[in-house]
Structure 1
Amino acid sequence: MLHGISLTIGAGETLGLVGESGSGKTTLGRAVLGLVPASGGSISFNGQQTQDLAARERRKLAQDIQVVFQDPYTSLNPAMLVTDILTEPLLAHGRSRQDATAAVGALLDRVGLPKDAGSRYAREFSGGQRQRIAIARALAIGPKLIVCDEAVSALDLVTQARVLDLLIEIQRETQVAYLFISHDLTVVRHISHRVAVMYQGNIVETDTARTVTSNPSNAYTKKLLLAAPVADPDEQVRRRRARIALLAS
C-alpha cells in the first residue's frame, strides 16, 4: 500500500525510484501505467488527471506512457519474429502494415541491433539484446514517458552499463522521460537526475541523484547505500561494519 506519494517528472528527466523488495516501487509504477487503480489521490499527465480521461484519451495515454519490464526472457514472446514484436504496437495505434514494417529498421538501428535482427525470433538473442528489443518496442509509438521497472537488474554488470548508456543517449535525442525503478542505488546514480527513496509505501527522501547517493539524510537511505556491493574488499568490510553499527543505533 502506498501512502501520500507526491512526485513529478519533467520532460527529458529521469526520476530514479529506489527501495528494497516490497517497498512499493513496482506498485507505484503499475499505478502510473494504469495497470492498478489508485484508491485515493490522483495521477496527472500533461495536466490531465488520468482517471478522468475518456476512452479515446486513454488510448492516447497508452501511446504516451510505455514500459520496459525487468525480465527480457518473459516480456517478449519467444515464438514471434522481432519484426512482428515491433510492428504490433504500431498496428494497434492505427499505422498501416507498410508504414509499421518500414519503421522496424530504424528502431533496430536506434537500439544498436542489425536490421536483419527483425527476421529472427526473440528467443535467439541474449538477455542484453532482448532488452534492447524491449526498448525498441517501447520507443515504437513515440512515448513521452517510459517506466523502466528493474529494466537492467537481470543483466550482468557490463551489459547493464551498456543498456543504461543506451537509455541516456535515447533520452538526449528524444527528450523522453523515465521513471526508473530499481533496488540498486549504484544503477540509479548512473542514470537519474533525481532520486526518490521508498520505504514501506512512503517516500522517505527525494533529492538530486548526487546528493542521495553520496550524502543521504535519511537513515534508511544510508542503509541502502552501505548495502551496495563494491569491488574493493577493504571498502566492502568498512561498509558492512558501518551498516551493522547503523542497524544497532
Structure 2
Amino acid sequence: MTQVVSMPPLLRLAGVRVAYPGHGWRARPVEILHGVDLEVGPGQTHGLVGESGSGKTTIGRAILGLAPVAAGAITFDGAPIHALKGGARRRLSRDIQVVFQDPYTSLNPSRPVGDTLAEPLYGQGVSARQARERVAGLLDQVGLPGDAMRRLPREFSGGQRQRIAIARALAIEPRLIVCDEPVSALDLTTQRMVLDLLAQIQRDTGVAYLFISHDLAVVRHVSDVVSVIERGRIVESGPAAQVTGAPVHPYTRRLLLSAPVADPAAQRLRREAYEREFAGERAS
C-alpha cells in the first residue's frame, strides 16, 4: 500500500490570542481572539466565516502584523512571524499579500493604476522596464486592458477596482493572499466574476487564500476548508462540503439558515427553521 504523505501547512495559527488595551485608567485589556487554531495548506483556500464582530478580520490583521498577538504563535512555512517587525516584516510581504473589502480606499486616488501596481515591484529591485512589462501582464491576467495603467482609480467600476487590487496583490507572486471580504461590496454578478477570477488565478499560480467573509454561501463556493468563528473562538472547522452542508455547531446552523435563497417558499421554510433553531438554543 502506498503511504500518503500530507504536506505541512503553509500558514498555522496555534492558540492565538489578541488583546487590545482597555479604555481608561487601570482598564483591563480587551481580548478579541481567545486561543484560535487555524491552518492553510499550500495552494488551498481556507474560508473563515462569521458575523460582524466575531473576530474574523482580527485574525487577518494578526497574520499581517497589524494586530498585537498576546499569546500563541503564527508560523509561515514553519517559521514564526507573529513578532516580526521592521525590515523582517516588510520582507515577509514578498510571500503574504492582502486584498481588502473596499478597493478604492486601498488604492491611491491621485496615482495612475500602473504606478500603484509597479510600486511593490520597485521595492523588490525590479527595473522600470521590467515593472512595466509585469504590470501589463498583471492587467491582462485580471481581464483589464493595457491602457488601464494610465488611468486613475476613479475611472473604474467597483468590480474593476477590485481586479486592480487583486493584480497588486499578485505583483510580487506571493504564496498566500489574505482576502478580507473581497466581494461583499459588489453586486452579485460582479461577485461571481471576481470569485471566478480568484479561482482561475489559484489554478494558474498555486497561490493559497485565507478567504474571510460573513457570507457562508460565498465561502462554500470558493473554499476547500471552512472554519466558523463566533466571539473570537473557532467553533467548527472541516471540509467545506461538510461544514456548509451538514453543520454540527448551532452557530454554524444559524448562519446557514440565515442565508437568503431565491425561492420564496424555500425562504419561508428556512426562516421557520431558523426561528426553531434560535428558540431551541435560547431554551437550552
TM-score of Structure 1 vs Structure 2, range by shorter chain: over 0.9
Q: 1:201 aligns with which of 232, 251, 259?
A: 232
**2:170 corresponds to:** 139
**2:205 corresponds to:** 174
Q: How much is the aligned-residue C-alpha RMSD, in angstroms? A: 1.2
1-structure distance, mates of 2:207, 2:50: 23
2-structure distance, mates of 1:195, 1:37: 24
Gap change, CA 1:55 and 1:78, over 3 Å in 2 = closer
Matches within 5 A, 1:17-32: 17-32=48-63
- Identify the range of structure 1 (181-190 vs 58-67) with the bigger mean alpha-carbon deviation: 58-67
2-structure distance, mates of 1:181, 1:39: 22
Kindly indicate whether residue 126 of structure 2 is the aligned counterpart of residue 95 of structure 1. Answer: yes
**2:263 corresponds to:** 232
Q: Tell whether the 8 Å contact from 2:62 to 2:82 is kept in structure 1 after alignment.
A: no
Flag the structure with larger Rg. 2
- Identify the range of structure 1 (56-65 vs 226-235) with the bigger mean alpha-carbon deviation: 56-65
- Identify the range of structure 1 (50-59 vs 233-242) with the bigger mean alpha-carbon deviation: 50-59
2-structure distance, mates of 1:53, 1:200: 26
Kindly indicate whether residue 141 of structure 2 is the aligned counterpart of residue 110 of structure 1. Answer: yes
State the one-letter code of the partner of 1:110. Answer: Q
| TM-score normalised to structure 1 length | 0.97
| TM-score normalised to structure 2 length | 0.85
- Identify the range of structure 1 (48-57 vs 5-14) with the bigger mean alpha-carbon deviation: 48-57
What does the per-residue CA deviation read over 1:125-183, in whole Å, with 9 as the maximum and x for residues that have no partner? 00000000000000001100000000000000010011000000100111100000000
**1:2 corresponds to:** 33
Kindly indicate whether residue 164 of structure 2 is the aligned counterpart of residue 125 of structure 1. Answer: no
Q: Tell whether the 8 Å contact from 1:188 to 1:195 is kept in structure 2 after alignment.
A: yes
SS in 1 for 2:42: coil
Unaligned stretches of 5+ residues in structure 1: none
SS in 2 for 1:95: coil
Runs of 4+ in 1 over 6 A off after TM superposition: none
Q: Does 1 or 2 have the higher relative contact order (CA < 8 Å, sep 6+)?
A: 1
**1:163 corresponds to:** 194
What does the per-residue CA deviation read over 1:72-110, in whole Å, with 9 as the maximum and x for residues that have no partner? 221212211010110011112222222212211100011
**2:276 corresponds to:** 245
State the one-letter code of the partner of 1:208. Answer: P
State the one-letter code of the partner of 2:71. Answer: G
**2:47 corresponds to:** 16
Aligned sequence identity (%): 61
Q: CA deviation at 1:247?
A: 0.7
State the one-letter code of the partner of 2:98. Answer: V
Kindly indicate whether residue 90 of structure 2 is the aligned counterpart of residue 75 of structure 1. Answer: no
Q: Tell whether the 8 Å contact from 2:65 to 2:89 is kept in structure 1 after alignment.
A: no
**1:186 corresponds to:** 217
SS in 2 for 1:6: strand
Q: Tell whether the 8 Å contact from 2:50 to 2:213 is kept in structure 1 after alignment.
A: yes
2-structure distance, mates of 1:32, 1:76: 21
2-structure distance, mates of 1:225, 1:161: 19
User: How many residue pairs are counted as aligned between the two chains?
Assistant: 249
2-structure distance, mates of 1:48, 1:104: 31
Structure having the higher helix fraction is: 1
Q: 2:70 aligns with which of 36, 39, 49?
A: 39
